Amino acid sequence: MLKWKELYDECLNCNKCELKNSRNNMVFGEGNPRSRLMFIGEAPGADEDRLGRPFVGRAGMLLTKGLTALDLIRERDYYICNICKCRPENNRTPNEVEAEACLPYLRNQVALIKPKIIICLGSTAMKYILGSDWRITRDRGKWIERKGCYIMPTFHPAALFRDESKKILFWQDLKSVKRKFDELRNDL
Ligand code: SF4
């Protein structure tokens, strides 16, 4: 397992998959690595690729706004990153080869952070973290305990722009995250 700085440098210089050709910036992750709450999305979008920061575009701002309303602050309370560290062209879903190439970096991040709570944002994160038997519309909002870590899938915030009806369910899920965070606060 690499330490934080070594891991960052390895990602920065990585050319293990084709996404190296479409990225402007590698997007490693952001937030408090000492918090035990982690959000994991799919891959950087255009704004994230331009700025080298995760979840800073329209969807990211919506997520941040919801979490801030619940007094969950990125710099203090959680760490956020993606399955893939580089942007696929036209925001397509990363393919399995790309995701599998990048997953060791995420596993290394998880091993360093040791989260007690992981939130999978969208079906791609859910698939690579929980497995392919799970369905986002059926299973979102459920807590799954694995080795003492509570994992919950929910919608990717970008999906809320395509289907407004998901906003209420997403908000319910964020409130559930806050309750779990408060419940486990002494362990976090
Ligand atoms: S997506 Fe991941 S594996 Fe692919 S080039 Fe970027 S850092 Fe490397």
Distance 171 CA to ligand 1 centre (A): 31
Question: Taking 80 as the threshold, does the pLDDT of residue 141 lie above it?
Answer: yes
Q: What is the mean pLDDT of residues 159-183?
A: 97
Summarised one tens digit per residue, pLDDT across range 38-88 is 999 999 999 999 999 999 999 999 999 999 999 999 999 999 999 999 999
Full-prediction pTM beyond 0.85?
yes
Distance 180 CA to ligand 1 centre (A): 32
Closest listed residue to residue 28, CA positions, set 91, 94, 81, 64: 81
Distance 94 CA to ligand 1 centre (A): 10
Q: Where are the beta strands (DSSP E) in 19-148?
A: 30-31, 37-41, 79-82, 117-121, 144-146
Tell me which H or E stretch contains 152. Answer: strand 149-154
Q: How far apart are CA 43 and CA 149, in angstroms?
A: 23
Question: What is the per-residue pLDDT for 188?
Answer: 64
Q: What is the mean pLDDT of residues 129-156?
A: 97
